[in-house]
Amino acid sequence: MRTVKARGRKGEKHEYVRLVESYREDGVNKQRIVVNLGRKDLLSSHLESLVRILQPEDAPGRWVKSSQVVPSQSAVYGPVVAIRHLWQGLGLDDILDGYQGKGGGVLADRAFVLVANRLCCPGSEHHLASWLETDYVCDRDGGRWLAPWEERGRVQVNLSWLQRWYRTLDELVGYKERIEEALFWRLRDLFALEAELVFYDLTSTYFEGCGPEGLARYGYSRDGKEGNRQVEVGVVMVNGWPIAHHVFPGNLSDSKTVEGVMDDLQRRFGLRRVVFVGDRGMVTSDNLAMLKGRGQGYLVGLKRRRREGIYELIQKATGAWQECDEGGKTLVQEVAGEEAGVRVFVVQSEERLAYERGMRERAMEQTRLELEGLKKRVAEGRLKVPEKIGAAAGGILSRHHGGRYYDWEMRGREFCYFESANLEREKAYEGKYLIQTEEEGMTAVEAVAAYKGLSEVERAFRCLKDVIEMRPIYHRREERVRGHIFVAALAFLIKRALDKKLKERGSRLSGEAALEALRAISIVEVEVGSEVKRGVTAGNNRARQVLNCLGMGQLSLP
């Protein structure tokens, strides 16, 4: 007899009673559920009879009272064991053990704990202790990780125990480059990785506190945290797999990171000739000259407003459009570039058009209402000084990008506003973006498909920030910051492996939903009389579906 805890349809918690049979197969102890008997509170009056019926007549202690069947403890097991399966499939234990030499294995086991925590219940190393109480996390020998609780001010666990996890970050980041290299070759062997198109983009993540001097700087915040210091994180992806990441000072411009990334790709990964795919922030004449000088290809987006000649290139798109997807929601056509050998593709997206048109119409209406209010104030004589009128109009036009759509002038004592001459240009930009390359054999449709691959990097950033919770960073030492980001990057790699497994098997579950479904699988201990029984619950249908996608089947005790 075993009891497990689960939530009902309305979120209420119940205990359920199951009859479980233990058996041995190929030298391994396994369990299987014979029957689910139902809710414990409904069965409580019959529990003694059930125990009596299920025991043989001559069994010692056959007449066990229901009060002697006590569930002693349980811990969530499903997500961690699935993450361990993916971790080992990528060879991370072997990679880390190889760096530690004989007697190693501690770093691999401890690094696994940090990565699994990021995927299951992301939090600081202080929070790690409480997570280890609820989830069953063990090393490769089956020993469970638990924290020694010892309250000391704000720290609730033994300080030496906590410091060991910080040292794990320091030690792990020391092997970062070699781990990334080993993982790259592992991915090439497992998934026939073809490093022809290399995708690269940057994001930022902010600090709570000062952060390390020299790395934590004020810069353009993609998190809307202009008052916080930050670092920039660049991610390199190939065929949807992250192969490397880079950490830069928070005030470094995107374009200044490209050459160092290309150096790293050639030095560590031996990539001779690739097509570099980057966003608009990467495009400078120096970067393009550098890529061409090294014999590398490129496929980059062009800035619409900050680059001269873009409007003219859009105006050239008067030919036939090619469909890039079913339904013609994305169209493309090639136009003549400004230089010989330079190819430019004008892309029109139906989805992007609807979004940008809606944004422009809302901005125009907000600006119009504010300009109408200013016109009324001038007409009523509440605002007379020309300098103050000009300052008020300038303030209005600086909000909501109003200066793109409206202009104004004083006609005598009357304040007048009207649509700007730039409005037609703004309407022409809507729904369109431009791609530039010098790849001769690439078709227009192939160029669009390749450039859309950058969305994989953008999704990676959303996962790192919102699912794995890479932000904010509280560490103050540089190597610890880099270690924190490296753990987040490894967690993202594991999640990407999970996403791909689910997709290959036709499952509609996301990685996050799959890990949540696996929380239905627990390790439980039940005291029957003087004996303690321990086993793994089977979980629900969604949990079993995830296990089947991973090729794991029924789980056994560690």
Where along the chain do its domains lie? Answer: 2-75+525-549, 79-174+496-504, 176-342+438-476, 352-429
| Of residues 550, 476, 558, the one with CA closest to residue 518 | 550
Phi and psi angles of residue 2, each rounded to the nearest 5 degrees, phi first: -140, 145
Residue 206 CA to residue 228 CA, distance in Å, equals 6
In this prediction, the residues of the chain whose per-residue pLDDT falls under 70 are 7-11, 42-71, 100-104, 529
Q: Which residues, 6 or more positions from 378, have their beta carbon under 8 angstroms from its beta carbon?
A: 384, 389, 413, 414, 415
H or E stretch covering 512: helix 511-517
| Of residues 390, 396, 392, the one with CA closest to residue 367 | 396
Q: Which residues, 6 or more positions from 223, have their beta carbon under 8 angstroms from its beta carbon?
A: 204, 205, 206, 230, 465, 471
H or E stretch covering 436: strand 432-437
What's the distance, Cα to Cα, between the start and end of the chain in Å? 20
Cα distances (angstroms) measured from residue 238 to each of 26, 274, 300, 360, 491: 41, 11, 16, 35, 17
Q: State the pLDDT at residue 103.
A: 47
Q: State the pLDDT at residue 428.
A: 94
The residue whose two tokens read 């073809």 is: 194
SS3 assignment, position 421: coil
Phi and psi angles of residue 103, each rounded to the nearest 5 degrees, phi first: 80, 5
Q: State the pLDDT at residue 53.
A: 56
Residue 408 CA to residue 423 CA, distance in Å, equals 14
- Chain segment 53-83, per-residue pLDDT in tens: 555 555 544 444 445 556 678 899 999 999 9
Residue 436 CA to residue 432 CA, distance in Å, equals 14
The residue whose two tokens read 């995927």 is: 119
- Between CA 197 and CA 203, with CA 198 as vertex, the angle to 5 degrees is 145
Q: State the pLDDT at residue 306.
A: 76
Residue 116 CA to residue 80 CA, distance in Å, equals 6
State the burial class of residue 475 (Cβ atoms within 10 Å of its Cβ: 0-12, 13-18, 19+): buried
SS3 assignment, position 299: strand
| Of residues 388, 438, 439, the one with CA closest to residue 415 | 388
Paired sense of beta strands 297-302 and 241-249, if any: unpaired
SS3 assignment, position 147: coil
SS3 assignment, position 91: coil
Q: State the pLDDT at residue 339.
A: 86
Q: State the pLDDT at residue 238.
A: 93
Q: State the pLDDT at residue 102.
A: 47
What CATH number does domain 176-342+438-476 carry, 3.30.540.10, 3.90.350.10, 2.40.160.40, 3.30.1490.100?
3.90.350.10
Phi and psi angles of residue 74, each rounded to the nearest 5 degrees, phi first: -145, 155
Task: Calculate the CA dihedral of residues 439, 444, 449, 454 and round it to 10 degrees.
Answer: 60
Residue 537 CA to residue 544 CA, distance in Å, equals 11
> Is residue 369 within 8 Å of residue 330, measured between CB atoms?
no
